[in-house]
Amino acid sequence: MMNEAMQKALNEQVNAEFYSSYFYLGMESYFQSLSLNGFASWMRSQVQEEMFHGMKIYDYIHERGGKAMLGAIDRPEQEWDSPLACFEQVLAHEKKVTDLINNLMDVAIGNRDHATKAFLDWFVSEQVEEEATVGTVVDKLRLIGDNSSALFLLDAELAKRVFTLPVN
């Protein structure tokens, strides 16, 4: 069984992951309202991915003999000045999530909880991928500027993303 501090920190992360799912759902709605269906589809995949992350931690808490405790989820923002502004917020959010995961890792290491450290290694790698992927979209949106043709090409590219459950 994990110690109380680790359980509390993991429960906070479950809530953060569920908030992230809700956060991306608000962005999906924004892109739907602009008829940028590829951007919306990308966000829907992100919604599913964040829910998967939350459930992965939720299940882990129970596997270790703990109790998952759910907290309130704040209402996410749902309007932005542009697709670029929206994705810049995504990048800032993913950097915040990286900090949260790093803090969890610090708690696991500080408590000599090797099982949780091993479990969190997957999330550390996942965050590297998240920041890189979103950073690429931000870079492309900056290059696009006001070019609507290029925006529609990026929309078509983003539509190709499909969420698939990770193997582990």
CA distances from 167 to 35, 83, 93 (A): 33, 32, 25
Over residues 12-51, the pLDDT tens digits come to 999 999 999 999 999 999 999 999 999 999 999 999 999 9
Instruction: Please tell me the distance from the alpha carbon of residue 148 to that of residue 144, in angstroms, as a whole number.
Output: 8
62 belongs to a structural domain: yes
User: Does residue 168 lie in a domain region?
Assistant: no
Supply the mean pLDDT for the chain: 96
Residue 7's pLDDT is 96
Distances (CA, A) of 45 to 15, 52, 55, 148: 19, 11, 15, 24
12 falls within a domain: yes
Is position 17 annotated in a ligand binding site? yes
Residue 7 annotated as lining a ligand binding site: no
**Residue 79 domain-assigned (yes or no):** yes
Q: What is the mean pLDDT of residues 86-112?
A: 98
Q: Reply yes or no on whether the pLDDT at 166 is more than 90.
A: no
pLDDT given at position 168:
64
Determine whether the annotation assigns residue 127 to a binding site: yes
- Whether the per-residue pLDDT at 1 is higher than 80: the answer is no
63 annotated to bind ligand: no
pLDDT at 4 over 70: yes
Q: Quote the domain boundaries for residue 126.
A: 4-158
Residue 163 lies in a domain: no
Q: Answer yes or no: is 49 a known binding residue.
A: no
Does residue 167 form part of some domain? no
**Residue 106 is part of a domain; what is its CATH number?**
1.20.1260.10
Torsion of Cα atoms, 29 then 32 then 38 then 43, to 10°? 0
